Amino acid sequence: MTDAEVAVEPLEPLPEDWDTGLVLVPHPDDIEYGGAAAIARWTGQGKKISYVLVTSGEAGIDGMPPEEAGPLREREQRESARIVGVDDVEFLGYPDGVIEYGLPLRRDISRVIRRYRPEIVITGNFRETYGGVFLNQADHIAVGRAVLDGVRDAGNRWVFRELLDEGLEPWNGVRAVWAGASPDGRHGVDTTDTFDLGVESLRAHAAYLEGLGEDMPDPAEFLEGFARQAGTRMGCRFAAGFEVFQLKFD
């Protein structure tokens, strides 16, 4: 299949017959780059969605020391989540920028999955690039890989047995992991009605966006470009694309 054929391939609609979801990403603002509009759609349907951030994004503002940036970015993330209907926001406290894939991260993700017991887990793109043009960031790659493994670990009582001592029984209820903004995404969701909420959610990261400098485009313009591309593939105005990793087959 050529690149041109991939670009125009229609996106298959994501299923929406689920009630509980968990967003697991490395940094504050990760889900806001396109995914927050989808979250707003789903919370508007009455779905319960929670956020777990592996770091506090403390290394993300060049002109601000991490000890100041971390608490600020946590506050911005909580407000950003509130805008799209998410009340539960948790930070795991891993160091921003130097996350390593490995057993500690898998265990902590497994612990989170067992506590929240979601049907759908949402993470970000963890492929090497964004469509072969822009290199992905190391934290995104490490966390995405660990999410896939941690979800499966959560269902096996003999992996990370110490979680049983914490009273956390295995959870095999995750139906799928959805990775947003993946260049291999073949599924999507119509975000036309909630696009503006997604923009507002990104704008809530005001200090972070200011720290990116004047070259950073306006959030509405930036998000609209990607949302229109996905929308064209879904036959609607705006959409968000996802790569689906199916864990259960009905």
Helix, strand, coil shares of the chain, percent, nearest 5, are 40, 20, 40
What is the distance between the alpha carbons of residues 61 and 129, in angstroms, rounded to a whole number?
A: 23
Q: 216 lies in a domain?
A: yes
Helix (H/G/I), strand (E/B), else coil: 247: coil
CATH code assigned at 203: 3.40.50.10320
What is the distance between the alpha carbons of residues 222 and 231, in angstroms, rounded to a whole number?
A: 15
In this structure, the number of other CB atoms found within 10 A of the CB of residue 236 comes to 19
Q: At 56, phi and psi to the nearest 5?
A: -100, 5
What is the distance between the alpha carbons of residues 16 and 120, in angstroms, rounded to a whole number?
A: 10
pLDDT, tens only, 64-92? 999 999 999 999 999 999 999 999 999 99
Helix (H/G/I), strand (E/B), else coil: 186: coil
Q: 3 lies in a domain?
A: no
Q: What is the mean pLDDT of residues 101-128?
A: 98
pLDDT, tens only, 173-225? 999 999 999 999 999 999 999 999 999 999 999 999 999 887 778 999 999 99
Q: 143 lies in a domain?
A: yes
Q: 1 lies in a domain?
A: no
Reported pTM: 0.95
Q: 8 lies in a domain?
A: no
Domains: count for the chain: 1
Domain with 31 in it: 14-246
Helix (H/G/I), strand (E/B), else coil: 23: strand
Q: At 245, phi and psi to the nearest 5?
A: -115, 100
pLDDT of residue 237: 98
